[in-house]
Amino acid sequence: MHDFRELKKRGEKITALTAYDYPTARLLDESGIDIILVGDSVGMVVLGYEDTTEVTLAEMVHHTRAAARGVKRALLVGDLPIHSYDDAPQAVASARALMEAGAHAVKLEGGASHVTQIAAIIAEGIPVMAHIGMLPQSVREEGGYKVKGRTRAEAEALLNDAAAAEKAGAFAVVLEIVTPETARQITNALEIPTIGIGSGSHCDGQILVTHDLIGLFPWFTPKFVSPEARVADEIRRATRAFIRRTMSAEI
């Protein structure tokens, strides 16, 4: 975890992407990514759930174990799903389950509201990445995905969350859909790195859902993502070519 602080001090950006299976994790690892997150976004882009609120700890353990088999050098972070860290003892037990599956660290949503859980997990020797801003596990209560940090009150609350997570021992904090200016303020206020997603370029690093980056989930692409590939189109093309070839051979 000390290495990421050093990267921040030197002004070197940190790269992170998601993976939920062996081949994707291996490809990302071989490509030189710094952090691989087995995110609860697996619920939407792999399992077909409406959002992340249906993802279970058992599912996260399953996907973490698969991804871990493909990782040799990157930091593998396992996401704690909703209601797997409602109190400190449960948080520790859930974090242990992900570590036993092969994770090197865990991530949870929340700042000041979850310092007890963060501290308890870290006391067990398990590194924690915090996550503030838009919290996908709270999307139903929020009524959708909304930009955070627009008002002074929101910005101050986020600064407090980030500071609380850092004080509790988190080694990094994800800022999701936070206004660029607020993200800049948080980044400048912390010694630990910020990892942004839809939060502008001032963060110390960036993370994306790999399916969004490579165009593998074409039914929804976040506004802040510019896909670098169109894998879904290639799958359709290859499938249709296979169908044509097979049908032609039958004739």
Find out whether 200 and 180 touch, Cβ atoms under 8 Å.
yes
Q: Give dist(CA 31, CA 51) in Å, integer.
A: 29
Beta-sheet strands, E only, within the chain: 14-18, 35-38, 75-79, 105-109, 128-133, 172-176, 194-197, 205-208
Q: Give dist(CA 103, CA 128) in Å, integer.
A: 11
Q: Give dist(CA 224, CA 175) in Å, integer.
A: 13
CB contact set of 23 (below 8 Å; sequence gap of 6+): 70
DSSP 8-state symbol, 144: S
Residue with tokens 């399916």: 211
Q: Give dist(CA 24, CA 226) in Å, integer.
A: 19
Residue with tokens 């242990």: 96
Q: Give dist(CA 93, CA 88) in Å, integer.
A: 9
Catalytic choice (6, 50, 176, 250): 176
Q: Active-site residue 228, yes or no?
A: no
User: Which active-site residues does the annotation give?
Assistant: 176
